[in-house]
């Protein structure tokens, strides 16, 4: 079992997922597989998807990354293929091969479409968020909870509204990320972590 941390494979994998990693043995390495390997430039283990295999080696990229990884791996450097992820009590299958590539491509197209839509809606959305109109309207109705989890890189906090995770504080990025459209209802200044990080940096 490997613990996954970081944003490079979101939303396929999320911080805190426990990965079931299967050695390749005699099975061939396939484009589209999600694999665990030791980064050639450091001691850390990386979990990324294979995007090409040729005579030079194996190229990888995170599902949430725009650029291909700088290194070229050799098959013996790959620890194994991610078969599934345990997220809380739920086991999630992680598909590889052609199915994995189709999934990763769909994520990439969706991300690009979201960027285009965001560019159009960004100014009015942020004006509404800064106005505080929705926060004042729901001041005593919305019940937000902050949950804390210990990760290898520090404390991760999650902002919950009922059973929905609507925001995350990632210690390695030192800021809150609140999902759209919930930024309209959340006062980020009142959330724990962010005010402290500001004091530390001043």
* pTM over 0.75, yes/no: no
In the chain, what's the furthest Cα-to-Cα distance? 62
Helix (H, G, I), strand (E, B) or coil at 201: helix
Give the pLDDT score at 196: 44
Fold of 2-103: Umud Fragment, subunit A (2.10.109)
Q: How far apart are CA 160 and CA 146, in angstroms?
A: 6
Q: How far apart are CA 105 and CA 47, in angstroms?
A: 17
Residues of the chain with pLDDT under 50: 194-202
Give the pLDDT score at 118: 67
CB 184 within 8 A of CB 134: yes
CB under 8 Å to 153, separation ≥6 — which residues?
Answer: 5, 171, 172
* C-alpha pair distances (Å), 111 with each of 37, 97, 185: 26, 21, 24
Helix (H, G, I), strand (E, B) or coil at 97: helix
Give the pLDDT score at 44: 83
DSSP classification of residue 6: S
Give the pLDDT score at 62: 95
Q: How far apart are CA 33 and CA 85, in angstroms?
A: 14
Give the pLDDT score at 195: 37
Q: How far apart are CA 64 and CA 70, in angstroms?
A: 16
DSSP letter for each residue of 177-192: EE-TTGGGT--GGGSS
For residue range 155-199, list pLDDT tens digits in order: 888 888 877 888 888 777 777 888 777 777 777 777 887 434 433
Mean pLDDT of the chain: 82
Helix (H, G, I), strand (E, B) or coil at 79: strand
End-to-end, the C-alpha distance of the chain in Å comes to 40
Helix (H, G, I), strand (E, B) or coil at 176: strand
- Where are the chain's structural domains? 2-103, 132-201
- Residue 12 main-chain phi, psi, to 5 deg: -60, -45
């Amino acid at each position: 079992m490997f613990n996954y941390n970081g944003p490079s494979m979101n939303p396929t994998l999320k911080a805190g997922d426990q990965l079931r990693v299967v050695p390749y043995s005699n099975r061939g390495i396939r484009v589209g597989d999600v694999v665990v390997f030791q980064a050639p430039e450091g001691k850390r283990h990386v979990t990324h998807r294979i995007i090409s295999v040729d005579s030079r080696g194996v190229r990888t990229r995170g599902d949430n990354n725009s650029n291909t990884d700088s290194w070229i791996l050799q098959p013996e450097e790959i620890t194994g293929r991610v078969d599934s992820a345990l997220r809380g009590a739920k086991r999630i299958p992680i598909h590889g091969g052609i199915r994995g590539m189709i999934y990763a491509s769909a994520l990439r197209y969706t991300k690009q479409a979201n960027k285009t839509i965001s560019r159009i809606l960004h100014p009015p959305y942020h004006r509404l968020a800064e106005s505080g109109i929705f926060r004042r309207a729901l001041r005593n109705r919305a019940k937000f909870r902050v949950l804390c989890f210990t990760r290898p890189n520090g404390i991760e906090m999650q902002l919950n509204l009922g059973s929905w995770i609507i925001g995350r504080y990632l210690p390695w990025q030192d800021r809150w990320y609140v999902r759209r459209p919930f930024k309209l209802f959340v006062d980020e200044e009142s959330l724990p972590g962010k005010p402290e990080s500001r004091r530390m940096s001043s």
